[in-house]
Structure 1
Amino acid sequence: MADEIPTKLVIADGSLGMLPLDALPAEPAALVVRSSGLLVSLAALFESVWRHALPLSLSSGEQAVMAQEPGPDAVDLQILSLLLAGLTDVSVAKELDLEARTVQRRIKRLMDLSGATSRLHPGRYASEYGLLTRHGS
């Protein structure tokens, strides 16, 4: 979740984008952007907003609220376990049925929380302190 976004934006496969144009409410319009420097810039804008976004969790009433737990949750621990097993971000995402960007964002957050200088440092920390468990134990 992001506090502010500069514009609505849709990017498909990195080769096509759409920006809504300010038009009369009865006449919606959008600018279609094909592969170009402008599309690269729009993708960079999205990535910048995504980097500063906060994770969400759903309450039992299906209402979205910001996650308040500062430490790793169960999904973070699964991600760390799979990274320690040697899986790539894409493989971890497939294994946990997540988007690759979600996995990357969670890894970045864990690195920030632990002050890690490498991607495996949070995993070593979690393993040393018994936060990771083996499947079936």
Structure 2
Amino acid sequence: MLDALVDLFEHYWEVGAPLRVTEEGGIGGAGPEDAASPAGEDRHLLSLMVAGMTDETIAGQLRVSKRTIQRRIQGLMNLAGVATRMQLGWHAARRDWL
């Protein structure tokens, strides 16, 4: 049983993507930034969002209001050209914004 769990962990470790939950956002191997990529603060917001935190929790972490978080996420969705948060997370991972 333990061998199976270790193998499962190793598999997910190999296929997983790094998650940067720092204010700098891009530390640790982020790809080159283009003109349409978010700033470091927005990368931090994205990292918190894809980690599954609620808007209220993110707002507390960043010391801003919940409405500010919602507005910034909407701005990121517009930047990415997507309609849902799920699409934003996928787009952010694909474009190496995380």
Structure 1 segments, 4+ long, off by >3 Å, are none
Confirm whether residue 100 of structure 1 aligns to residue 66 of structure 2: yes
Q: Which runs of 5+ in 2 are unaligned?
A: 1-34
Which residue of structure 2 aligns with residue 6 of structure 1? none
What's the CA shift for 1:70? 5.4
Which residue of structure 2 aligns with residue 77 of structure 1? 43
Q: Distance in 2 between matches of 1:73 and 1:123?
A: 16
Q: Distance in 1 between matches of 2:68 and 2:41?
A: 11
What's the CA shift for 1:123? 2.3
Which residue of structure 1 aligns with residue 3 of structure 2? none
User: Alpha carbon RMSD of aligned pairs, Å?
Assistant: 1.7
Max Rg structure: 1
What's the CA shift for 1:71? 3.7
Q: Distance in 1 between matches of 2:84 and 2:56?
A: 18
Name the SS for the 2:83 alignment partner.
coil
Which residue of structure 1 aligns with residue 55 of structure 2? 89
What's the CA shift for 1:85? 0.8
More strand by share: 1
Contact 1:81 1:123 in 2 (8 A): no
| Residue type at the aligned position of 1:90 | E
More helix by share: 2
Q: Distance in 1 between matches of 2:56 and 2:78?
A: 21
Q: Distance in 2 between matches of 1:128 and 1:71?
A: 12
Instruction: State the percentage of identical aligned residues.
Output: 39
What's the CA shift for 1:84? 0.7
Q: Which range moves more in the overlay, 116-125 or 90-99?
A: 116-125
Q: Distance in 1 between matches of 2:48 and 2:64?
A: 13
Q: Distance in 2 between matches of 1:70 and 1:101?
A: 23
Contact 2:37 2:97 in 1 (8 A): no
TM-score by length of structure 2 reads 0.57
